[in-house]
Amino acid sequence: MLLMAGNVILILGGTREAIEIACDLEQIENTTVITSLAGVTRSPRLPTGKVRFGGFGGKDGLFDYLIREKITLVVDATHPFSETITKNGGIASKKAHIPILHFSRKPWRKTPQLRSYEV
Instruction: Domains for the chain: give ranges and CATH numbers.
Output: 8-39+52-102 (3.40.50.20)
Of 5 and 69, the one with more pLDDT: 69
Q: What pLDDT, on a 0 to 100 scale, did the predictor assign at position 6?
A: 80
Scored b (16 or more CB within 10 A) or e, 57-83 reads eebeebbebbeeeebbbbbbbbeeebe
Supply the DSSP symbol for 56. -
Q: What pLDDT, on a 0 to 100 scale, did the predictor assign at position 40?
A: 65
Q: pLDDT digits over 73-95, tens only?
A: 999 999 888 899 999 999 999 99
Predicted structure pTM score: 0.83
